Structure 1
Amino acid sequence: MQYSKSTDYALHALIHLANAERRQNVGIKSLSEMLGVSESYLSKIMSKLRQDGIVRAVPGVNGGYELARPADQITFLEVIQVIEGRQHLFECSNMESNQHRLLADEERDDRCQADHDPARCVCLVKQVMDGAEQQLNRYLQEHTIQSVVDAAVTARRSLADKK
């Protein structure tokens, strides 16, 4: 599994906005230069984040973007879902195979075949993959934009103390 470059740029842009001096808005040109990405590409990413209420566009000559809510309320999971979508990472594509039927609970599988009801079908591989996805989602939900800003501040202080 690999996240897109758009997710990378979105997360880094949000960290820059959270770290902006006196929480001022940051222009798209400045953000794109910091990230090394074109303004038009970054504008599309920021538009998605704006539509989902993560950032707010500030109009005018000195306009730009700012966080729409505190950085400690913006989770990595939320940003990833905005950019990548909210679909499951794994879908079982092998429900009709003989091997799958051998592994399935016979009673449940019979009902699945008779009703053609996916809710009654079991895919043991999907159960494992869904469990992994749930753990990943919990981890990403626990980490916020602010937690990364705080970690960077702590790292800078640690380096300064060593000098």
Structure 2
Amino acid sequence: MKYSKATNYALHTMLFLAALSPDKLIGVQQLAERQSVSPTYLSKILTKLVKADMIESTSGANGGYRLKRNWEQISFLDIIHAIEGTASLFDCSLNHGPECLIQQVVVEAETKMEEHLRNQTIADLAKKITQVL
């Protein structure tokens, strides 16, 4: 299983915003340079995070992105769902339905993984980073 690069960039962007300046506007250019990614590509990712109500954007010369209120509650799973969607990672190609034993095993594993990701917040990681700094 592999998440897309967009998810990787979204997670790193959210952590960067939380650790260094949760209330400060940061431009897409600075965010893109931090991750060595195209600002155009990152803008598309940021748009998904805005639509998911995790960050807000302000346009203009002094515009940029910042975390929304209650950002401390945002989990890894929230961010992953904002980028990847909420569809199951496994879909039985033989259309056995819920009685498929293979699908049951994979869905159970996915449920446990989602539970773990739901319990990991960006705020928790941001605290660890600020303790190191």
In which range does the TM-score fall when normalised by the shorter chain? Answer: over 0.9
Instruction: State the partner residue of 2:65.
Output: 65
- Return 5+ residue gaps in structure 1 as ranges: 97-117, 158-163
RMSD: 1.6
- Per the TM alignment, residue 71 of structure 1 is displaced from its structure 2 partner at its CA by 3.1
Q: Secondary structure at the match of 1:25?
A: coil
SS state at 1:65 partner: strand
TM-score (norm 2): 0.92
Distance 2:91 2:70 in 1: 35
What is the Cα deviation at residue 9 of structure 1?
0.4
Letter paired with 1:36: S
Higher relative contact order (CA 8 A, sep 6+): 2
For the pair shown, the structure with the greater C-alpha radius of gyration is: 1
For 1:90, give the aligned amino acid.
F
Correspondence 1:134 to 2:111: yes
CA distance in 2, matches of 1:82, 1:28: 18
Give the Å deviation of 1:126: 0.7
Mark the runs of 5 or more structure 2 residues left unpaired by the alignment. none
Out of 115, 122, 128, which is 1:151 matched to? 128
User: Residues 22 and 87 (structure 1 numbering): CA distance in 2 closer, same or farther, change over 3 Å?
Assistant: closer
CA distance in 1, matches of 2:21, 2:78: 24
- Taking only the aligned residue pairs, the percentage that are identical comes to 38
Letter in 1 for 2:63: G
| Deviation at residue 23 of structure 1 after TM alignment | 2.4
TM-score (structure 1 length as normaliser): 0.76
- Count of residues paired in the alignment: 133
Q: Structure 1 segments of 4 or more deviating over 3 A?
A: none
Matches within 5 A, 1:72-91: 72-91=72-91
Following superposition of structure 1 onto structure 2, how do residues 89-128 of structure 1 map, counting pairs within 5 Å?
Answer: 89-95=89-95, 118=97, 121-128=98-105
Q: How does 1:51-62 map to 2 (within 5 A)?
A: 51-62=51-62
Q: Secondary structure at the match of 2:57?
A: strand
Aligned equivalents of 1:31 and 1:135: distance in 2? 32
> Which is helix-richer, 1 or 2?
1
